[in-house]
């Protein structure tokens, strides 16, 4: 599904040069459930941004679903994001002025689907996440877990081939987190590839495979080795 070879990305400011990704080579098979882990600053988010075509990279090649996406124009990248990828953000990123229905509707509109097909797709994906009874609610009227589920429904609505989840349970309590992980597993079972960035080793264990990043490159760790804990937790501030 995803083939990155020697991907490098450098952020340059006036004073500092940050190598977010350093010759990163990653391969993810279609249908797998992969957890991406690493200490803060290791490049997890940058990797996800690159994988999801949210950001460009400097050197290397990237094949997504067999297609070379290195030099695509913005219009084509948008299309791929719309049709092939589903995003789940740590901060949900639901549009606050829209109700549940309209939020899930957003990517479908960009696909130019007719109204009837859209309604059906929205209904189905909300069924999957179990929120079809709250079509008219605003995000402010939902709990964190419910909001994330709507976000997942939004990601699913267009039947993507790849789900990219950035700390999907980072803002949720353990009960809700569990529900979300169940959902992700369920989605993966239908054949969708899931790549999840997380710092929580328990959650990571629920994935089939773990990728560890450090300083912008992949490091090898055996799956049954304890994952380094001390000082590496990416803490969430507030709540």
Partner 1 sequence: MFSYLLLTAWRSLKRNPFLSLLVVVGIALGIGVSTTFVTAVYRLSLHPVPEKEDRLFYVRMDSWNPERPWRDSLPDDPPDQMTWRDALEVTSGDIPTHQTFMYKAELTVHPEDKDMRPFRASTRLCTNDFFALFEVPFQYGGPWSNAADAAAEQVLVLDHATNAKMFGGEDSVGRTLRIEDREFMVAGVMAPWRPIPKYYDTHNNPFEDPEEIFLPILLSESMEINGAGNDSNWKGYERNEYADTLASERIWIQTWVQLDTQRQKDDYAAFLDAYALDQRKMGRFERPLNNWTQETAAWMRDQHIVPAEAKTLLIISLLFLVVCSVNLIGILLGKFLARAPEIGVRRALGASRGTIFMQHLLECEIIAAVGGLAGLGLSVLGLWTIEALFVIDLNFKLDLNMVGAGMLLALVAGLLAGTYPAYRVCRIPPAQYLKAQ
Partner 2 sequence: MEFGPIVRSLFHNKTRFWLVTLEIALTLALVINCAVYILDMGSKMNRDTGMDIENILVVHTEPVSPDFKDETFLSQVRDEDLRLLAAQPGVLSATAFHQIPLSGSGSSAGRRAEGSDLNTIVIPYYLVTMNALRTLGAELESGRDLMASDYPPAGQDDIRDDDGVQRFNVLVTRSFADKLFPDGDALGKAVVNNDGTSVQTIVGIIKHMNNSWPTSDFGSDVMLFPLKPGTAERMRYLVRTRPGGLDALAATLEESMLTTNPDRIITLTSLAEVRDDTFSEDVALVKIFGGVIVLLFVVTSLGIFGLASFSVTERTRQIGTRRALGATRAAILRYFLIETWVITGIGLTLGTGMAFGLNMALASIADSPRLELPLLLTGIVVFWLVGMLAALLPAMRAMMVPPVLATRTV
Binding site for partner 2 (CB under 8 A): 45, 48-49, 52-55, 74-75, 78-79, 81-83, 87, 89-91, 93, 95-99, 102, 105-107, 109-111, 138, 154, 158, 166
Please tell me the distance from the alpha carbon of residue 182 to that of residue 122, in angstroms, as a whole number: 20
Tell me if 222 contacts partner 1 by CB under 8 A: no
Instruction: Provide the minimum distance between the beta carbon of 76 and partner 1 in the complex, in angstroms, as a whole number.
Output: 31
CA distances from residue 207 to 20, 26, 193, 196, 203 in whole angstroms, order as listed: 25, 16, 11, 8, 7
Cα 194 to Cα 231: distance, rounded to the nearest angstrom: 27
Does residue 190 bind partner 1 (CB under 8 A)? Answer: no
Q: Could you tell which of partner 2, partner 1, none binds residue 132, using a CB distance below 5 to 8 A set by kind?
A: none
Binding to partner 1, residues 81-110 (CB under 8 A): 91
Shortest distance, CB of residue 49 to partner 2, whole angstroms?
A: 5
Please classify residue 182 by burial: count the beta carbons closer than 10 Å to its beta carbon, then call 0-12 exposed, 13-18 middle and 19+ buried: exposed
DSSP element (H, E) containing 81: helix 74-84
Closer CB to partner 2, 78 or 143, in the complex: 78
- Residue ranges in 9-48 that form contacts with partner 1 under rule CB under 8 A: none
Dihedral of the alpha carbons of 78, 102, 147, 90, in degrees to the nearest 10: 20
Closest contact distance (angstroms) between CB of 8 and partner 1 is 26
Give least dist CB 195 to partner 1, A: 22
Q: How far apart are the first and last CA of the chain?
A: 36
User: Which positions lie near partner 1, rule CB under 8 A?
Assistant: 91, 236-239
């Amino acid at each position: 599904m995803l083939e990155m070879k020697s991907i490098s990305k450098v952020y340059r400011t006036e004073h500092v040069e940050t190598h977010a990704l350093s010759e990163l080579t990653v391969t993810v098979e279609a249908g797998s459930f992969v957890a991406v882990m690493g200490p803060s600053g290791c490049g997890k988010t940058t990797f996800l941004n690159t994988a999801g075509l949210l950001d460009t990279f400097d050197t290397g090649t990237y094949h997504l679903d067999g297609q070379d996406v290195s030099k695509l124009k913005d219009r084509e990248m948008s299309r791929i994001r719309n049709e092939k990828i589903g995003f789940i953000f740590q901060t949900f990123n639901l549009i606050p002025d829209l109700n549940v229905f309209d939020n899930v509707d957003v990517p479908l509109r960009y696909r130019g689907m007719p109204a009837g097909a859209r309604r059906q797709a929205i209904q189905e994906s909300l069924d999957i996440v179990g929120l079809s009874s709250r079509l008219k609610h605003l995000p402010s009227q939902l709990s964190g877990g419910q909001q994330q589920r709507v976000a997942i429904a939004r990601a699913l609505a267009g039947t993507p081939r790849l789900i990219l989840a950035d700390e999907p349970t980072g803002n949720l309590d353990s009960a809700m987190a569990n529900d979300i992980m169940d959902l992700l597993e369920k989605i993966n079972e239908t054949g969708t590839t899931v790549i999840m960035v997380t710092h929580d080793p328990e959650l990571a264990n629920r994935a089939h495979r773990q990728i560890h990043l450090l300083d912008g490159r992949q490091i090898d760790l055996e799956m049954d080795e304890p994952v380094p804990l001390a000082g590496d937790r990416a803490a969430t501030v507030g709540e």
